Amino acid sequence: MFKSQKDFAWDAKSIALLLSNNSSITSLDIHDLHANEYRNLLEKAICKSVTLEHLELNNCKGLKNLLKPFVGNARDSPPNTSVKRLCIGIGERQDLDNQFELICEIIRWNKTLTSLTISNVGLLPKLLTSMPKLRYPEMSVKTRDMEMFLATLKENTTLRQICFKKFEFEEIVQKMFLDLLEENIILEKIDLSETNFKSGGYDILVNEALERNRVKRILLVAEIDMISPKFARVFICGPPRIGMSPKKSIFLPN
């Protein structure tokens, strides 16, 4: 885990150099980082990493630059293709409002991420833990942002898990999650346990929809397996054995 010290810039530089020069790093948990003038160096290091599989970015300044490696820039460098689990910790309301469009771009174009977690890591989650019945507008995700997010998820075929922590959603957004699962049967887990989903019972409905989709996936695989050829008969023909080739039976592997 990397946490910021007095010199924020040196932290960004040191992590970038470590990631670039060490081919055995598979997991990074970065907290309270200010990526200012070295943000491009760290961005390129994440882009080029071929071993990093799990990345956590919690309350990091310059978050936009740290997320760009998962979309890529054809002019500078291709997107990262090694990270499977990405955790984004939002520390300020401004970051939440500004990054949703980029997060949607990641979902739309990245083909290697299988797990995405978005957490509220600011002060308010602590208050919510101690006073769960109170509502905090600052923790609410804008409906238009969630509408864009869930619409993008409908077309995604690689993400298996998504998780939101310490956020609140309007009731219409809770219904949108159910609509999502009508079209996306690839998602295996949606973790909304630390949100206000329980207040309306939508957590139960989402879990029921996930279970139905699990059964659909099993049936789909079984159907494909049933129609796949297991046996074929091949006739060998052509010179020099035209008209006298014996029949050959071949079993096709599964």
CA dist 146 and 144 (Å) reads 5
Predicted local distance difference test score (pLDDT) of residue 149 = 93
Asked if residue 252 has pLDDT above 50, the reply is: no
Predicted local distance difference test score (pLDDT) of residue 9 = 46
More confident residue, 253 or 207: 207
Q: What's the average model confidence in pLDDT over 170-187?
A: 90
DSSP string computed for 42-82: HHHHHHH-SS--EEEEES-BTHHHHHGGGT-BTTTBPPP-S
Residues contacting 148, CB < 8 A, separation 6+: 100, 101, 104
Predicted local distance difference test score (pLDDT) of residue 35 = 61
CA dist 237 and 234 (Å) reads 9
Q: What's the average model confidence in pLDDT over 178-201?
A: 86
More confident residue, 189 or 137: 189
- Please give the domain boundaries of the chain with CATH numbers for all domains: 2-251 (3.80.10.10)
Predicted local distance difference test score (pLDDT) of residue 152 = 94
pLDDT tens sequence across 90-147: 877 777 777 888 899 999 989 899 999 999 887 565 555 555 555 655 577 888 999 9
Smallest CA-to-CA distance from 39 within 6, 72, 69, 80 is with: 69
Q: Per-residue confidence at 63, pLDDT binned at 50, 70, 90? A: confident
More confident residue, 100 or 188: 188
Q: Per-residue confidence at 33, pLDDT binned at 50, 70, 90? A: confident
Q: What's the average model confidence in pLDDT over 210-225?
A: 83
DSSP string computed for 145-178: HHHHHHHHHTT-SS--EEEEEEEB--HHHHHHHH
Contact 46, 40 (CB under 8 A): no
Predicted local distance difference test score (pLDDT) of residue 148 = 93
The mean predicted confidence, pLDDT, of the chain is 78
More confident residue, 141 or 73: 141
> Distance between alpha carbon 123 and the CA centroid of its chain, in Å?
25
More confident residue, 50 or 35: 50
Position 127, amino acid: L
Predicted local distance difference test score (pLDDT) of residue 41 = 84
